[in-house]
Amino acid sequence: MKLFKKVLIANRGEIAVRVIRACRELGIKTVAVCSDIDKNSLHVRLADESICIGPASSAGSYLNIPAIITAAEITDSEAIHPGYGFLAENSHLVEACNASNITFIGPTAENIRTGGDKARARQLMKESGVPVVPGSDTPVLSEEEGVKVAKEIGYPLIIKASAGGGGKGMRIVREENELIRMFHTAQKEALAAFGNGELYIEKFITDMKHLEVQILADRKGSIIHLGERDCSVQRRHQKLIEEAPFTFSDKDITAMLGEKAVMAAKAFKYRNAGTIEFIYDKDGNVYFMEINTRIQVEHPVTEMVTGIDIVKEQIKIAAGNNLSHKQSDVKFSGHSIECRINAEDPETFIPSAGKISLFIPPGGSGVRVDTAAYSGWSVPPHYDSLIAKLIVHGKDRAEALNKMKNALKEFIVEGIKTSIPLHLKILDSQDFINGNFNTGFLAKFLSH
């Protein structure tokens, strides 16, 4: 098996630590990059080498492509793993890697461009026979065009940034008199966040589940899926709790979703790890939502139910190896749940930066904590508020829920506020326990 000798991780936080650990297990040396405020971060301590690439601002450091390429060159790194966020879905980084003879551990530049262009991706899916939500087939360039599309598909509808993600440039429009205002708001937000103000419009499906399927694809075109995840518990399009498999999953649903995900990946001519996201409505209809061309925050729940290390697979594929598994090799066992532990007030959601005076993660059989936090570390205010991912695995959903409750109660974080109290409240909700939730669940839950 071919492998790299040294990999640079172009990220920070828990995902940087996660990649370092995967590299260690494969016998690969690692290089951590950091901003000046992150010099005492755990990923810097764990890596074989580290290099400061700029100031605390993301623009000057973790989004600084020339600095990252230079860091890779002076440390003789053969490959760069981007993690998620920052430059993970930036085709310019892939092209810069190619120009410098450095391997990008992820999809191709064309994969990223096509996946990032939501309108183009929709059209590709339609042509490939993957069902899509009724909506505009091309970007909607003016409010007049938006009004025309809205009349064709009806209300409620959702406006999305073509180059978007993370809920930015996204607005739900329930009545005609809101359309023009929401259109301009979404356009300005998309332009500010992505440098691209193109929008597209879809029918907004209520009472929907947000499901996604993990796929792996090698350079020879072999593609497999690793089952589905339920990511329906969200606040303002930001996921808070994820599960694998889907709450009401059975072999037929898993096979159906997997088949459509593989069809989508083939249409994209996809390579490496990726995620195909779907809408699952109350009538059991499935529609393509988007493709995420990176490792997902919630990938651990899939690892827990399949026993497959997705980050290691990313690295092996990028090094030129074939897939380690055939579809028939993929077996699903039990149920896994992940809670994203954020450094924020659990009631107001205001970020809570500052020094962690005490950090004691939970343990026990079937309990996993992915984190870069530790006692004495200061959470900087410059980046995402995620400080840990708590993942559990049980023989079934009931056991996994019980393990998660106990693990959350054991989790000690002092000095800052966290989302742990909110997670405990959600897990005590009878609707959540019964699996009676969708993407609108959390908004209703918080309003009570």
Query: Can you read off the two tokens belonging to residue 275?
Result: 């995620």
Report how far residue 197's alpha carbon sits from residue 195's, in angstroms, rounded to the nearest whole number. Answer: 7
Report how far residue 384's alpha carbon sits from residue 406's, in angstroms, rounded to the nearest whole number. Answer: 26
Helices 251-268 and 118-128 sit at what angle, rounded to 10 degrees? 110
CB 77 within 8 A of CB 6: yes
CB 155 within 8 A of CB 176: yes
Report how far residue 17's alpha carbon sits from residue 13's, in angstroms, rounded to the nearest whole number. Answer: 7
Angle, vertex CA 216, rays to CA 214 and CA 218, nearest 5: 170
End-to-end Cα separation, the chain, in angstroms: 55
Give the three-class secondary structure for 190: helix
Q: Give the burial class of 396: count Cβ atoms within 10 A of its Cβ; 0-12 exposed, 13-18 middle, 19 or more buried.
A: exposed
Report how far residue 434's alpha carbon sits from residue 422's, in angstroms, rounded to the nearest whole number. Answer: 18
Query: Can you read off the two tokens belonging to residue 10?
Result: 């172009």
Query: Can you read off the two tokens belonging to residue 55?
Result: 């100031």
Report how far residue 439's alpha carbon sits from residue 448's, in angstroms, rounded to the nearest whole number. Answer: 16
Token pair 């205010």: residue: 381
- What pairing do the DSSP bridges indicate for beta strands 79-81 and 6-9? parallel
Q: Give the burial class of 130: count Cβ atoms within 10 A of its Cβ; 0-12 exposed, 13-18 middle, 19 or more buried.
A: buried
Active site residue 229: no
Q: Which of 171, 294, 340, 368 is catalytic?
A: 294
**Residue 62 CA neighbour count, 13 Å, CB half:** 27
Token pair 């709450």: residue: 247
Report how far residue 156's alpha carbon sits from residue 208's, in angstroms, rounded to the nearest whole number. Answer: 13
Q: Give the residue numbers marked as catalytic.
A: 294
